[in-house]
Amino acid sequence: MGRRIRIAAGLLALAEVVVFVLVAARIGAGLTVLLALATSALGWALLARQGTKALADLRESARTRRRTGAGRELGDAGLVAAGGLLMVLPGFISDVLGLLCLLPGTRSLVRAALGRLIVSRLPVGLRPPVRVDSVRTAEVPRREEPVRTAPLVIEGEVLRGPEGRPGA
């Protein structure tokens, strides 16, 4: 798995250099550098705005103990962080990918694509929908005679009585 990530990162870096050179040949080196700096500044601004909103949504769902959207909001916070990192890094391909993660309209598309990728990597038995049986909810056969248990006895010594006095 680590080898694949290194190969993918190397190919992405190579593609970034190729795109940077193509853009520089088209609009000039100075404007290309300014454009790269502008996209990094835009990344910082979007990260601050969308990150604050994603964390506020996550905090609100934790405060109200709402369980249904907490996973989605946690995923959104992670995508905003990844998108901000991609936008701040130099390169136009990473800027486009980061923008897809940062914008609320396209974030759901990225979340769905990542979900499909993760599900495709799971073993067949763990792919959704997963049915789980519990031995606690399984029907237990009844006995003919009731089970008798001894009363619970806890040995100890009373250090303070009801009035707060020792041994009272």
Print the domain residue range for 115.
2-122
Average pLDDT over residues 73-83: 85
Domain annotation covers residue 26: yes
The reported pLDDT for the residue numbered 92 is 92
Q: What six digits make up the tokens of 41?
A: 């500044």
- Encoded tokens for 2: 């680590």
Query: Does any domain span residue 19?
Result: yes
- For residue 157, pLDDT beyond 60: yes
Q: pTM higher than 0.75 for the full model?
A: no
Instruction: Give yes or no for a contact between 107 and 101, defined as CB atoms under 8 angstroms apart.
Output: yes
In a domain, 69, yes or no: yes
Does 32 fall in a domain?
A: yes
Averaged pLDDT, 121-126: 81
> Does residue 139 belong to any structural domain of this protein?
no
Residue 146, in any domain of the structure: no
CA distances from 139 to 87, 130, 135, 136, 148 (A): 55, 21, 8, 8, 21
What does the alpha-carbon distance between residue 46 and residue 81 come to, in Å, rounded to a whole number?
10
Q: Tell me if 94 is assigned to some domain.
A: yes
The total number of structural domains in the chain stands at 1
Residue with more model confidence, 70 or 27: 27
- pLDDT tens-place string over residues 15-69: 999 999 999 999 999 999 999 999 888 888 888 888 788 778 778 877 776 655 5
For residue 165, being part of any structural domain is answered with no
